[in-house]
Amino acid sequence: MQVGSNEVVIGIDSSTQSTKAVAVDVATGTVLGEGRAAHTVSGGAARESDPREWWRALGQAVAATRYAERAAAVSVGGQQHGLVTLDTDGEPVRPALLWNDVRSAPQAAALVAELGRDTWAQRAGSVPGASFTAAKWAWLRENEPEAAARTAAVRLPHDYLTARLSGAAATDRGDASGTGWWTPEGYDLDLLARLGLDAAMLPTVVEAGKAAGEVLAGTGTGLRPGTLVAAGTGDNMAAALGLGLAPGRPVLSLGTSGTVYAVTRGRPADPSGTVCGFADALDHWLPLACTLNCTLAVDRTAALLGLDRQAVEPGGTAVVLPYFDGERTPDLPYASGLIHGLRHDTTGGQLLQAAYDGAAYSLLAALDQVLVAGGEQIDPGTELLLIGGGAQGKAWQDTVRRLSGRPVRIPAAGELVALGAAAQAAALLTGERADEVARRWGTSAGRLLEPLPKDDAALERIADTLHRSGSLFDQPTV
């Protein structure tokens, strides 16, 4: 490893709500500058964004770091699954369908019915749900055939931004594994044919540690032409890089969505569909369970109650299933929010705590399944790494400790997706693995919170309510 004096890289996190960028010293991992710019996401049943808005936000965020001209390499971590359709001129055919757009639930169900859960799990690593790109493409073909016919190229969000920077039609194994049509041997041509896609419409999967290309002239980002551009990856894979995860160490991420995952040595293949068998950005795997409703659902509950988000009260019998956007884990795309078990003495603070519990429950219930799917050992005493926007909130911290019975570590490093992208960019310069770069930077260090007594009664109430109410969520709410 050779690290040049004062070399700087920029890592970018293009997420659902905004783009963040960090400029990082390659030798020390010190964050030298940061930038942020917001996105617009449509409301209602659709969850869409104009990819050109991501590009505008990327330029603003990178410029705000004040290190664009000094950067020797750059990489983009982006929200997974989103469907970006481009015409022959490389322009978006329509707004991108985002991961949390559940209109494609019927198409996902049809795909699963056609091939069967076992086949999907063995071939693609995952049983596709409404979030997967394959289901979104099937939805587009059925509902907007003219847009599908105009589509000359299909990209994921980070692919689109990498191409705007470098001109390269490139992706990586991590993000590609969330489409439904990637396998360890490459794109599944039979699955693509069933979906009406040609492999020529898809980006090349770049080998880990290799560059996708170089920054083009005239990007307007402030980055120098010729700056190395890494392949980039999906946001969860980038966060795993940002933490420098070793196999078997579990992570719970609290953001717009909630995720629980671990890097594993074994390839997951869960036919139940609870665990997505993603690849990581290197040469291991990233089994992951994801919920659609996490911090935003809890914040919405607090707003409805007129309470501060930290104003929780212990006790009470109420159960809240905050499935405001449908739900992915459990697989209830047509679900809506539900409150059960109200009493005369139920307080607003107890209802708010119940919303926290309901949002955390599915993630913690899937934790052991994630480890088993990747062939790793389950150790109830192993600490959880708690990351994401919710991780700094005491109410979230206490909820996770009380429902898991595990110690929880809060990494001091922020913007882990952008840091992971920065580590990927730095690896192009140093020849290290990206996870080794992050471990050298010490990104997972942070405060350790001891476990709280496990609240089995709360877990049982939630499980019972979910079982009883499942039939309510079989059809869309009118």
Which of the residues are catalytic? Answer: 235
Alpha-carbon gap, residue 337 to 454, rounded angstroms:
25
Contact 58, 12 (CB under 8 A): yes
Beta carbons within 8 Å of 153's beta carbon, 6+ residues apart = 85, 86, 90, 169, 201, 202, 203
Report the alpha-carbon distance of residue 259 to residue 367 in Å, rounded.
10
Hey, what are 468's tokens? 């009883």
Count the neighbouring beta carbons within 10 Å of the beta carbon of residue 454: 15
Q: How far apart are CA 98 and CA 131, in angstroms?
A: 8
Sequence length of the chain is: 478
Rounded Cα distance between 208 and 55, Å, is: 24
CB 340: neighbour CB atoms within 10 A? 18
How far apart, in whole angstroms, are the C-alpha atoms of residue 169 and residue 201? 10
Q: How many degrees, rounded to 5, is the angle at CA 319 between CA 452 and CA 391?
A: 45
Return the percent helix, strand and coil in the chain, to nearest 5.
40, 20, 40
Rounded Cα gap, residues 454 and 404, in angstroms: 6
Q: Are 322 and 310 in contact (CB under 8 A)?
A: no
CB 282 within 8 A of CB 238: no
Residue 279 vs residues 75, 182, 276, 415, 430: alpha-carbon distances, Å? 18, 10, 9, 21, 23
Report how far apart, in Å, the C-alpha atoms of 293 and of each of 39, 53, 137, 172 are: 19, 24, 23, 27
| Radius of gyration (C-alpha) of the chain in whole angstroms | 21
Bridge partners of 18? 38
Round to whole Å and give the CA distance between 280 and 172.
Answer: 9
- Separation CA 386–CA 367 (nearest Å): 13
**Residue 199 DSSP class:** G
* Tokens of residue 280, six digits: 């990581």
CB 247 within 8 A of CB 376: yes
Closest CA to 74 of 85, 89, 58: 58
Residue 229 and residue 211 in contact, taking contact as beta carbons nearer than 8 Å:
yes
